[in-house]
Structures are given as C-alpha cells and as structure tokens.
Amino acid sequence: MFVIWLLVISRTEMDKPETTLDTQMLEVNIGPQHPSTHGVFRMNVTLDGETVVRLKPAMGYLHRNHEKIAEGASYLASMPFTDRLDYICSMTNNLAYAIAVEKLAGIEVPERAQYIRVIMAELTRLVNHTLLVGFLLNDLGAFFTPTLYAFREREKILDLFEATSGARMMCNYMRFGGVKADLHPGFMEKLKEIVENYPRFLDEFEKLLTENEILMSRCQHVGILPKHLAVDASATGPLLRASGVDYDIRKVDGYSIYPRFKFRVPLGSVGDVYDRYYVRILEMRESIKILEQAMKEIPPGEFISKQGATGAKSPRTFRPPKGDAYGRIESPKGELGFYLVSDGTPNPYRYHVRPPSFINLTILEDMCLGCKVADAIIILGSVDIVLGEVDR
C-alpha cells in the first residue's frame, strides 16, 4: 500500500517543478580537445543544469584546404590525398574520386576491376560500421570492451588491405579505369575466412549489446530525427535510413556493378540512436551477403583498362575533356560525391568534395535540444562524423 502511494506521488508531484529561484545557464565548450568528439570538433553547449538548451557546432580545426591543393596538382596526385578525407574508409574515398573522374573523362572499367572495387568497398563498410558501433559504446561509457572487439575484427580486414594495396589505412589503391595492382595470391582464402566468421562475431557482438537494458534505456527515444527533417536537411546514409527513408545510392544510382548483387537495405522506424546503431549492424550483414556473391562471381582478366594504365603511368599526360561531372557513391557514412570541372589541362579547374559527415551535422542541434549532456555526446557519436572529411 505504501509502495503504491509512493508511486502515485512520484507521478503527480515531481513532474511539474516550478523554478522560483533564477538559475544561471552554464555554457560549456565540449571540444576541440575532448575524449569523445571523434577528432577536433567543438560544440558550444549552453546547459540548464544537465539539459541542453543551445548547441552551436564549431569546426575547421582540421581544415587544410584539400580542394586548393587538388587544383594545383594533377588528377592522379590527389588520389593519395583522398585517403586522408575519411581516414577510416580510404578505399571508398578512392572509389568515389575514381568514379567521378571516369564520368568526367569517359573511361571504361574492366569486369575484374569492378568486382575488386565492390569487394574493397564492402570490406570498408564492414570496417567503418564495426568501428562506429565500438566507439558509440565507448561514448556510452563501456570501458573499451566493444571497441577492442571491433578493432580485433578490423585488424583482419586491414591485413587484407595491406597485402593488396601496400598500406593498411592509406591504401591509394584505385586508379582511373581500374585498380593499381591485382589481388595478391592469398587474397581469396583470407577473404573467405573473414566472410565466414564475421557473422559469428556479429552474433557475439549483438549478444553483448543489443539486448542490454542499459544500452536500450540510454539509446531508445534519444535524439530522434523525424523523416521529413532528415530528407529536408539532406542527411544521407545510415542516419537517413534509420529514420525510415528508403534511399541507398547503391540501389538508386546502381553505379559500378551493384545492380548484379542481391542485397537488402535495412530501414529503422523511430529514427533514434538505437535505430542508427541497429541499422548499421544489419547493414554489415547485408555487406557480407554482397561479399559472398562477389567472391563467387569474380572473373579473371585485366585489373585496369589500357587507357587507365597509361594514365597511371604518366599522370601529366592525362587530360580529361573540358566540362564538369558529379560522381557520387554510397560511402559507409552517406553520399560521398566529387564535383569536378576540367578545362582540358592536367590540373582540375575546380575540385569539390560533397562530404556526408559535414552535411549530416546540419541537424545535430535539432536532435540534441532538450536532451542531457550525456545524450548530446552519444547523438554526435551516432551521426558518425570523421573530422578529416568534415573539415577537408
């Protein structure tokens, strides 16, 4: 009886706190040097107690004007710089740039190179989503355990990248018209091994996390992004699909040879942090399906077209025709696009990057208003930004 009486009290009294005494707003700068801003990103947050009243992001700490450097260099010379855009998925950055230049110059890509590119892009998606889930749990406070499980799996994939392209994170592997070098001899066995026990890792990961009540109570109905706002604010990638909008550029544009693969696009329902977490786990499972199909169907043949090989051999002589082109792909963080204007010289006249994390930040404030400081941190984590791409 006493218990029920207490619960009744707690429902009525505590919900209407009238603040007679004037409280002062606490203005806190979260960042640029902060354990969980995923890089040098600052949020100027005004707090009323613990709840966020105003949040103004400030960026540009890592700005090195990648676009001005690209205008001074030849087309191929900015390929290694695209690795530094989103330094977690360097292969998809290369792929986006290669596709944009191929659209600009009209270069054909042989079959085997298309398959290699799809395999590398999907492996990068696995790397990015695993890392993101790990770091999201880090922001939630789990003392590095999920992150280190994620790193353990990522290492296997990075060893593949190193053996094929020469470097673990800064691969610089794709060329206009194909890839720099063919897959190294032991590639297929290692890939088969990864693809086979990745689902087992994901099941263990889900067993550790998805049903965890603390994670559910911390992430469900937090930082909700309504469907219409997501579309209007051109959010892209898992952030958009978690709000339920069915827009995946691999399906919409069907670039490279993605239409040949059978895979599904997971969609969230509420659009909160929990949906973004779980949509990424489901996307990883879809990527594994694509990898299985690509592994079986990869044909032998040349890994770079003749025209591409000569272009790679002497970048000075690679002069795309006058005009402009906009190539875009579905990078793990969203729509990564390159807008190139060429005036016939070996240097691009205008080189613009459409970075997904930079534009996904437009609605960070809308999601964080009214929630606690701890929520603002995990909402930023769930948006999945990488400062190399935000600041370029």
Partner 1 sequence: MSYGLGILKGMSVTLKQFVESYTKKGSIVTVQYPEERREDVERFRNFPILVYDEKPEAPRCVACDICAKECPPKCITIVRDRDEQGRGLQKPKVFDIDLSVCMSCGICEEVCPFDAIFMDHQFELSAYDRMESLNYHQEKLLKPNSYLHQIRPTDATQIDAKLKAKEEAKKKTQPGTTA
Partner 2 sequence: MERLDQLFVLLKKIILQFAESFLPAPLLPFLSILVSITAIAIFAPLTMMYLTWLERKVIGRMQNRFGPNRVGIYGLLQPIADGIKMLTKEDVIPLGADRVTHFLAPVAVVVPSLLLFSVLPFGRNMTAVNLDIGLLFFIAVSSIGTLAIFMGGWASRNKFSLLGAMRAFAQMISYEVPLVLSVVTVVMIVGSLSTEKIVEAQSGWGGLRWFVFTPWGFVGFMLFFICSVSEVNRTPFDIPEGESEIVAGFHTEYSGMKFALFYMAEFLGAFAYSAMAATLFLGGWQGPLLPSWLWFGLKTFCLVFTMIWLRGTFPRFRVDQLMSYAWKFLFPMGLSNILAAGIWYHTPFPLSFIFATWILLLSFIGLSRLNPTGTRLERRTYRFAE
Partner 3 sequence: MESTEQIQKDLEQKIPAVKLQLERDAFLVDRKDLIAVARFLKENESYKMDYVSCVTGVDYKEYLECVYHLYSMEKKHGPIVLKVRATKEDAKIPSLTPTYRGAEYQEREAYDMIGIIFEGHPDLRRILMWDGFAHYPLRKDYVPEDQDILDK
Of 62 and 229, which CB lies nearer to partner 1 in the complex structure?
62
From the list 91, 332, 358, 382, which residue makes contact with partner 3 (rule: CB under 8 A)? 358
Nearer to partner 1, 79 or 267 (CB): 79
Q: Choose which of 170, 208, 257, 295 interacts with partner 2 (CB under 8 A).
A: 208
SS (H, E, C) 37-65: CCCCCEEEEEEECCEEEEEEEECCCCCCC
Q: Which stretch binds partner 2 (CB under 8 A): 84-92, 110-118, 179-187, 264-272?
A: 264-272
DSSP, collapsed to helix, strand or coil, labels residue 328 as strand
Nearest to 109 by CA among 288, 321, 287, 312: 312
For residues 390 and 392, what is the distance between their CA atoms, to the nearest angstrom?
A: 6
Please report the sign of the dihedral spanned by the C-alpha atoms of residue 322, residue 328, residue 329, residue 331: positive
> Which residues, other chains included, contact 1 with Cβ-Cβ below 8 Å and sequence gap of 6+?
none
Residues in the interface with partner 3 (CB under 8 A) total 37
* Contact characters 140-169, partner 2, x per CB under 8 A: xxxxxx--xx--x-----------------
Whole-number Å distance between alpha carbons of 340 and 107: 15
Nearest distance from residue 324's CB to partner 2, in Å? Answer: 32
Neighbours of 237 (CB within 10 A): 26
Stretches 104-112, 131-139, 165-173, 334-342: which one binds partner 2 (CB under 8 A)? Answer: 131-139
> Is residue 62 near partner 1 by the rule CB under 8 A?
no
Contacts by 73-76 with C-beta closer than 8 Å and gap 24+?
A: 73/347, 74/315, 74/316, 74/318, 74/346, 74/347, 75/101, 75/176, 75/315, 75/318, 75/320, 75/346, 75/347, 75/348, 76/175, 76/176, 76/311, 76/312, 76/315, 76/318
For the segment 283-322, give every residue that binds partner 2 (CB under 8 A): none
Asked if 35 is part of the footprint of partner 2 (rule: CB under 8 A), the reply reads yes
Longest dimension (CA), the chain: 87
User: In the stretch 214-253, what mask flags binding to partner 2 with x, by CB under 8 A?
Assistant: xxxxx-xx------------------------x-x--x--
Is residue 169 near partner 1 by the rule CB under 8 A?
A: no
Q: How many residues bind partner 1 (CB under 8 A)?
A: 38
| Closer by beta carbon to partner 1, 65 or else 210 | 210
Q: Is 45 or 340 the residue whose CB approaches partner 2 more closely?
A: 45
Q: How far is the CB of 59 from partner 3 (least distance, A)?
A: 7
Token reading at 145:
């355990």
Cis check: omega of the bond before 57, within 30 degrees of 0: no
Q: What is the SS3 assignment for 248?
A: coil
| 181 is a site residue for partner 1 (CB under 8 A) | yes
- Which three-class secondary structure state does DSSP give residue 182? coil
The answer to whether the CB of 52 falls within 8 A of the CB of 88 is no
User: Quick check: 204 binds partner 3 (CB under 8 A)?
Assistant: no
Partner whose footprint covers residue 77, from partner 3, partner 1, partner 2, none (CB < 5 to 8 Å by kind): partner 1
In the shown chain, the binding pattern of residues 135 to 164 toward partner 1, with x for contact by CB under 8 A and - for none, equals: ----------x------x--x---x--xxx
Q: In the beta sheet, which residues pair with residue 323? A: 342
Q: Tell me if 188 contacts partner 1 by CB under 8 A.
A: no
Nearest to 199 by CA among 126, 256, 95, 257: 126
Binding site for partner 3 (CB under 8 A): 59-60, 63, 65, 67-69, 71-72, 229, 231-235, 245, 247, 252, 323-324, 326, 328, 335, 337, 339, 341, 349-350, 352, 354, 358-359, 361-363, 391-392
- Chain residues that interact with partner 1, rule: CB under 8 A: 73-74, 76-78, 80-81, 145, 152, 155, 159, 162-167, 170, 172, 180-181, 184, 204, 207-216, 312-316
